[in-house]
Amino acid sequence: MTESLIFSTICPLHSIITEFMKVRAKRRDNETTEKLMNRFKKQTQHLRLVDLVRRKKHWRQAPSKRQIRIAALIKDKYRKQRRKDLQYQ
C-alpha cells in the first residue's frame, strides 16, 4: 500500500497506468492475432486511455479567467451561427 502511495506521488501517470492494467485481452479459441489486437484497441479506446496519456504527457498551465471568458464568447458565437444556419435549411 505504501509503495503505491509513494509511486503515485512520484509518477502523475500512476492512475492512468493502473487503469491501463485493467485492460486484458486473452486470445480466444480460433481467434486471429489481428482480431485480438482490434479487441484490445477497442477496450483502450473505450476507456479513453490513449487520450489521457497524451494530455498528461506534458504539463499545461491552467487557463486564466480572461482565456476562459474569450473561449466562452467564441463558443457562444459559433452556437448562434449554427442555430441561424439550421433555421435557413
46 and 21 belong to one structural domain: yes
The C-alpha angle 18, 63, 78, rounded to 5 degrees, equals: 105
Inter-residue contact 43 to 50 (CB < 8 Å)? no
15 and 54 belong to one structural domain: yes
Query: How is residue 79 written as a grid cell?
Result: 452556437
The total of structural domains in the chain comes to: 2
Q: What is the pLDDT of residue 74?
A: 98
67 and 25 belong to one structural domain: no
Per-residue pLDDT of the chain (89 residues; tens, 9 = 90+): 444 444 444 555 666 566 556 778 888 899 899 998 999 888 888 888 788 888 888 888 899 999 999 999 999 999 999 999 988 77
